[in-house]
Amino acid sequence: MTKTTTKETTHKTGNQFDYSASIAKLEEIVGQLESGNVPIDQALELHTEGQKLADDIAAYLEQVGLDIRVQANKE
């Protein structure tokens, strides 16, 4: 087995991030706010949570390009 590792530490951080779950949660928050049925205090909390998620996702999308690790298995 041949392993090529690039920036493993950063990659681990990136690899633990659940992108699809984060996007789904952000979409859910936007949907809740769009419904207009959320009390103002809850809306403000959702907005804060959504902003944090959007920041995390944006940071993830920026850093993944540099965090490639390829494991090549040869017979």
Partner 1 sequence: MQQYVFGVSEFVMSLNATLEGAFPYVEIEGELANFRVSKGKWVYFDLKDENSSIKCFATIYSLPGPLEDGMVVRVAGTPRLHQLYNFSFQAQSIVPIGEGALKRANDLLALKLQKEGLFDETRKRPLPYPPRHIAVITSAQSAAYADFIKITNARWQAMTFDVYDVLVQGMNAPGALVGALQRINAQPELPEVVVMIRGGGSPEDLAAFSDERVVRALSASRVPTLVAIGHEVDVSLAELAADKRASTPSNAAELLTPDKTTEKRHVRSLRKALTENITQTISTELQMVSVLRKDLGSARAYIYRSAVEALEAKTKMLAVLDPQRPLQQGYAIVRDAAGKTVLSGHQVHSGDTLAIQFKDAVVQAEVKRKGATT
Residues in contact with partner 1 by the rule CB under 8 A:
11, 14-15, 17, 19-20, 23, 26-27, 29-30, 33-34, 36, 38, 40, 43-44, 47, 50-51, 54, 57-58, 60-61, 64-65, 67-75
Backbone torsions φ then ψ of 3, nearest 5 degrees: -120, 130
How far from 46 is each of 3, 41, 69, CA to CA, in Å?
43, 9, 35
Q: At what angle do helices 40-63 and 8-16 cross, to 10 degrees?
A: 150
Structure tokens at 45: 């909390």
Using the minimum distance from each CB to partner 1, give the nearer residue, 9 or 36: 36
CB of 15 to partner 1, least distance (A): 5
CB of 55 to partner 1, least distance (A): 9
